[in-house]
Amino acid sequence: MRNPPAYKYAIIVGASSGIGAEMVRLLAEGGCTVAAVARREAPLKELAREFPNRVIPIVHDVTDFAKIPEVFLRCTDAMGGLDLVIYNSGVMPDVAPTEFDFAKDRQMIEVNLLGAIGWLDLAAERFQASRRGVIVAVGSVAGDRGRRGQPVYNASKAGLSTYVEALRNRLSGRGVIVTTVKPGPVETDMTAHLGFRGAMSAPDAARLILAKSARGSEQYLKFSHRVIFATIRLIPSWIFRHIPI
Amino acid sequence: MDIPTHSDLAKGNSSAPVAIRLDDVRRDSAFGYAAEADSYHHVVLNEDDITGAFAEAKRTGRRVLLRGNGRSYGDVSLSGEAICLDLRRFCSIESLDRQTGIAVVQAGASLAQIWQYCLPEGWWLPVVSGTMRTTLAGALSANIHGKNNRHTGTFGEHIEWIDFYSPARGLERIRPEDPDYWSIVGGWGQLGFIVRAAIRLRRVSSGNVLVQNVPTPTLEEMFALFESDCRSEYQVAWIDPFSHGRGVYSAANPVMSDEPTSLFVEYQEPSDRLFGRIRKDQAWKFLKPFTNRAGMRLLSRLKWEAAVRSPGTGAKMMPLATYHFPLDYVPDWQRAYRPGALRQFQVGIPIENANKAFARFLRMSQEAKLEPYLSVIKRHRPDPAVLPYLGEAYSLALDYKRTRRNADRLDRLFREMTDLAFDFGGRFYLAKDCFMTPADARRNFAPAAIEAFLAAKRKFDPTDMLTTDLFRRIQLHANT
């Protein structure tokens, strides 16, 4: 696997656990200064204790949209620059097969999509002015099709994927790299209730995401995922609706 | 760095308050790409813009960066996330007294603008850097020296007064006899903003200098020439970095006879093409294939052979601008170092140790197979600044190409040469530095000098509003 590019200043939104926390560790170990943004303070403080001069803990709820510009500036000020922004926040509440709960749906759209737009719009505006920078959105293979199990989670990740593709197109030719990463099953707190078998570990996923961060375009973490999900996308809807995934 | 466009200027309407906007973020590089940083750019058109920016910085707790044409080789004029005051449009020559040669010039005026305005009137700058793109504020902040440093001293020694704005004291006029003058001049922009200055120009009747080049097979012969030829006003030498010390000593003196037509700008800069064919702004592309060991070895050899094969031809007449600004022959020549970076090792060594030290630096570079691509020697006299560069000394400037492959080896070489330089009593010039550690800085400046500088810093900029990346790196700031 190729080493990740040598970033000096990074913001990771959704950094308190799972893939986000592992990305913070990897970047900090590589000498990068990281603004670790998340809602929960305790795990952020733990990361900051692990890397005292490298990790800056920033407590922020991504659904507090009005605060995002201020928090964004606080991150860049504290670090002294910005090369990389990774939006990794996401929620996937347990949704029963017959359940339609607007509160849960709204939370998914707000965290998975609107929060991403709030943060990545700012990153895009800044990077298009300075004519360089890397934007990464951690999407999901779940956004590739509308599955019966998680309608709004799928929609939020599909929306994220389309939004980030549009950013990529808008910023092309301006020296800004925009990458969508679509991890498959990963062992994290968020997916613990799903009982994935053979899922990738969070440190492995984090390493792969950083390695692919500067490639631009849409990235799956494994070649097999690319093949499988390309195939899944080709399945006609009238067949797909009968598949229990 | 591009000059601000009309739309930038429209945005930077001088009466508008300065605000932090993401679309003002620009990434600035050191000249030669050794360092870079993002900051919020604002074009300065008048003094209100300056006070507005400082007020906004105070309100938001941000730093302020004063930036001209970005000719420093390191991070002395970079400050990540600061409000960057782009001075290049604050560049009027407000007056020139044709009798006394006193020119009042705004901060962002470049040496090019000044000489192009003043030379036709029979006045020339007393001290210039190797590039005419240096701004007035940059020249004073770095207290630049030229090839005539031994005779004429530094730029700051030819000033009547400066208008100076500091975060703590606002605008005031400072004269060389004021005790703070030499903290501000040569203070690297860390204390405040030199808004304008009155420069004492020197009278010239000709726009030419007489240049005598002498090939010197050894460093000993070169130093002997420097010392014996103490009447020449301008002295500089080039060393073949692939040799054991052979080079070309060059001495020059202004032509004293009346040659009014040579004072015209058109005479000084006759062509925008090299060899009558290559557009100057494209010439760096022809240099690029040679920016490697083999190419530079060849060019150095050719330069030496050319000097040896044309000895004794007597002095050559050259226009002042052509002689003084060799770095501008090929605009953007630093781009030839891409995708790597240009790293300069510029050190001054006391006269008694210079020969031995310079020979060691050359040998160390050659043993590491990291020869510099250019090496230049100058003679210096003591620098009056509070943070001085040199005493009676020789300076050696070595240009290296840093690439991803040689980065670690080059850093090791710089470390070894830095330690050796300090052992020989050496001092480093901050305009070229991107390597010094806090401990190095404390070997570079005497404790009393550091104390005096920090006292001035606490007086003029107690909140470290103007502290740049270099000064944070070497930990010389008000809160030290």
> What CATH number should be reported for the domain holding residue A220?
3.40.50.720
With bands split at pLDDT 50, 70 and 90, how would you rate the model's confidence at B279?
confident
**Token pair of A112 as six digits:** 């998975």
Least confident of A48-62, B66-80, B187-201, B260-274: B260-274
Provide mean pLDDT across the span B301-319: 85
pLDDT digits (tens, 9 = 90+) for A64-104: 999 999 999 999 999 999 999 999 999 999 899 899 999 99
Q: How far is B472 from chain A (nearest CA, A)?
A: 11
- Does residue B336 lie in a domain region? yes
Q: With a CB-CB cutoff of 8 Å, which residues 120-139 of chain A face chain B?
A: 122, 125-126, 128-132
Q: How far is B37 from chain A (nearest CA, A)?
A: 7
Q: How far is B470 from chain A (nearest CA, A)?
A: 13
Provide mean pLDDT across the span A100-110: 96
Neighbours of B38 (CB within 10 A): 27
Percentage above 70 pLDDT, chain A:
94
B22 or B198, which is more confident? Answer: B198
Q: What does the alpha-carbon distance between residue B412 and residue B399 come to, in Å, rounded to a whole number?
A: 16
- Does residue B44 lie in a domain region? yes
Are residues B127 and B181 part of one domain? yes
In terms of phi and psi (left: phi > 0; alpha: psi -120 to 50; beta: otherwise), the region of B419 is alpha
pLDDT digits (tens, 9 = 90+) for B17-33: 567 888 899 999 999 99
A31 touches chain B (CB under 8 A): no
- Among A155, A79, A75, A167, which residue's Cα sits nearest to residue A127? A167
* Tokens 């991403």, located at residue: A116
State yes or no: pLDDT of B16 exceeds 80.
no
Residue A197: predicted pLDDT:
67
**Token pair of B429 as six digits:** 């010039």
Provide mean pLDDT across the span B48-61: 89
**Most B CBs within 10 Å, among A70, A126, A131, A132, to test the B interface:** A126
Are residues B108 and B40 part of one domain? no
- Does residue A134 lie in a domain region? yes
Residue B373: predicted pLDDT:
95
Q: What does the alpha-carbon distance between residue B341 and residue B273 come to, in Å, rounded to a whole number?
A: 26
Are residues B392 and B294 part of one domain? yes
A77 touches chain B (CB under 8 A): yes
Q: The domain containing residue B177 runs over which residues?
A: 93-203
Are residues B396 and B337 part of one domain? yes
- Does residue B269 lie in a domain region? no
Provide mean pLDDT across the span A220-233: 90
With bands split at pLDDT 50, 70 and 90, how would you rate the model's confidence at A149?
confident
State yes or no: pLDDT of A190 exceeds 80.
no
Contact B25 A80 (CB under 8 A): no
Residue of A nearest to B468 (CA): A80
How many residues does the structure list for chain A? Answer: 245
Q: What is the DSSP letter of A36?
A: E
Least confident of A231-245, B27-41, B119-133: A231-245
Contact yes or no for B416/B373 (Cβ under 8 A): no
Are residues B299 and B214 part of one domain? yes
Domain boundary, last residue among B138, B172, B203: B203
Neighbours of A63 (CB within 10 A): 18
Are residues B382 and B361 part of one domain? yes
Contact B37 A130 (CB under 8 A): no
Written as one string, the DSSP assignment of A157-180 is: HHHHHHHHHHHHHHHTTTTEEEEE
Q: What is the DSSP letter of B277?
A: T
Residue A193: predicted pLDDT:
64
- Does residue A89 lie in a domain region? yes
State yes or no: pLDDT of B227 exceeds 50.
yes
Are residues B322 and B232 part of one domain? yes
Contact A129 B25 (CB under 8 A): yes
Are residues B465 and B333 part of one domain? no
- Does residue B444 lie in a domain region? no
Contact A76 B26 (CB under 8 A): no
- Does residue A4 lie in a domain region? no
Name the helix (H) or strand (E) containing B421: helix B407-423
With bands split at pLDDT 50, 70 and 90, how would you rate the model's confidence at B327?
confident
Are residues B193 and B222 part of one domain? no
A80 touches chain B (CB under 8 A): yes
* Tokens 């360092």, located at residue: B35
Closest partner residue to A77 (CB to CB) among B23, B24, B81 is B81
Angle at B400 (CA atoms; ends B436, A6), nearest 5 degrees: 65
State yes or no: pLDDT of A2 exceeds 60.
no
Contact B25 A130 (CB under 8 A): yes
**Token pair of B321 as six digits:** 């601008």
Provide mean pLDDT across the span B187-203: 97
Name the helix (H) or strand (E) containing B407: helix B407-423
3-state secondary structure chain A: CCCCCCCCEEEEECCCCHHHHHHHHHHHHCCCEEEEEECCHHHHHHHHHHCCCCEEEEECCCCCHHHHHHHHHHHHHHHCCCCEEEECCCCCCCCCCCCCCHHHHHHHHHHHHHHHHHHHHHHHHHHHHHCCEEEEEECCHHHCCCCCCCHHHHHHHHHHHHHHHHHHHHHCCCCEEEEEEECCCEECCCCHHHCCCCCEEHHHHHHHHHHHHHHCEEEECCHHHHHHHHHHHHCCHHHHCCCCC
Q: What is the CATH number of the domain that holds B301?
A: 3.40.462.10
**Token pair of B292 as six digits:** 């490697």
The average confidence (pLDDT) of chain B is 92
Using a CB-CB cut-off of 8 Å, the residues of chain A touching B38 are 76, 81-82, 126, 130
- Among B42, B193, B41, B215, which residue's Cα sits nearest to residue B106? B193
- Does residue A1 lie in a domain region? no
Write the single-letter amino acid at B83: I
Provide mean pLDDT across the span A188-212: 81
B26 touches chain A (CB under 8 A): yes
B57 touches chain A (CB under 8 A): no
Q: What does the alpha-carbon distance between residue A207 and residue A2 come to, in Å, rounded to a whole number?
A: 10
Choose from B6-20, B254-268, B273-287, B407-421 the range with maximum mean pLDDT. B407-421
Contact yes or no for B83/B57 (Cβ under 8 A): yes
- Does residue A125 lie in a domain region? yes
Residue B329: predicted pLDDT:
80
Q: How far is B292 from chain A (nearest CA, A)?
A: 25
How many residues does the structure list for chain B? Answer: 480
- Does residue A174 lie in a domain region? yes
* Tokens 């004063």, located at residue: B66
Least confident of A114-123, B53-62, B452-461, B465-474: B53-62
Using a CB-CB cut-off of 8 Å, the residues of chain A touching B27 are 130-132
Q: How far is B49 from chain A (nearest CA, A)?
A: 21
Residue A242: predicted pLDDT:
86
| C-alpha to C-alpha distances, B65 to A36, B39, B82, B85, B107, nearest whole angstrom | 27, 8, 6, 6, 14
Residue A9 annotated to the active site:
no
Name the helix (H) or strand (E) containing B278: strand B278-279
Q: What is the CATH number of the domain that holds B153?
A: 3.30.465.10
Residue B1: predicted pLDDT:
46
State yes or no: pLDDT of B312 exceeds 70.
no
- Cβ-proximal residues to A239 (8 Å cutoff; 6+ apart), any chain: none
Residue B14: predicted pLDDT:
42
Query: Positive or negative CA dihedral for A199, A201, A204, A206?
Result: positive
Are residues B120 and B61 part of one domain? no
| C-alpha to C-alpha distances, B151 to B234, B327, B354, B375, nearest whole angstrom | 8, 22, 19, 22
Contact A130 B38 (CB under 8 A): yes
Number of structural domains chain A divides into: 1
- Does residue A2 lie in a domain region? no
Provide mean pLDDT across the span B404-423: 96
Q: The domain containing residue A28 runs over which residues?
A: 9-240
pTM attached to this predicted model: 0.89
- Does residue A245 lie in a domain region? no
Are residues B232 and B332 part of one domain? yes
Neighbours of B26 (CB within 10 A): 19
Written as one string, the DSSP assignment of B329-392 is: SSTTGGGGGTTSEEEEEEEEEEHHHHHHHHHHHHHHHHHTT---SEEEEEEE----SSS---SS
Are residues B214 and B181 part of one domain? no
- Does residue B48 lie in a domain region? yes
Contact yes or no for A146/A161 (Cβ under 8 A): no
- Does residue B173 lie in a domain region? yes
- Among A209, A138, A132, A139, which residue's Cα sits nearest to residue A171? A132
B81 touches chain A (CB under 8 A): yes
Q: What ranges in A172-241 are assigned the alpha helix state H?
A: 202-212, 223-234, 237-240
- Among B375, B401, B275, which residue's Cα sits nearest to residue B329? B275
Residue B12: predicted pLDDT:
42
Closest partner residue to B81 (CB to CB) among A81, A122, A131 is A81
* Burial label, A66 (beta-carbon count in 10 A; 0-12, 13-18, 19+): exposed
CB-based contacts of A232-238 (< 8 A; 24+ apart in sequence)? A232/A144, A232/A145, A233/A144, A233/A145, A235/A145
Using a CB-CB cut-off of 8 Å, the residues of chain B touching A126 are 22-23, 25, 38
Residue A184: predicted pLDDT:
82
Using a CB-CB cut-off of 8 Å, the residues of chain B touching A82 are 38
Provide mean pLDDT across the span A30-48: 96
Using a CB-CB cut-off of 8 Å, the residues of chain A touching B23 are 125-126, 128-129
State yes or no: pLDDT of A120 exceeds 80.
yes
Residue A187: predicted pLDDT:
78
Closest partner residue to A81 (CB to CB) among B20, B38, B62 is B38
Choose from A111-115, B8-12, B13-17 the range with maximum mean pLDDT. A111-115
Provide mean pLDDT across the span B118-130: 96
Closest partner residue to B37 (CB to CB) among A77, A81, A122 is A81
- Does residue B288 lie in a domain region? yes
Q: What is the CATH number of the domain that holds B57?
A: 3.30.43.10
Least confident of A15-19, B284-288, B443-447: B284-288
Least confident of A188-192, B343-347, B461-465: A188-192
Number of structural domains chain B divides into: 3
State yes or no: pLDDT of A135 exceeds 70.
yes
Residue B145: predicted pLDDT:
95
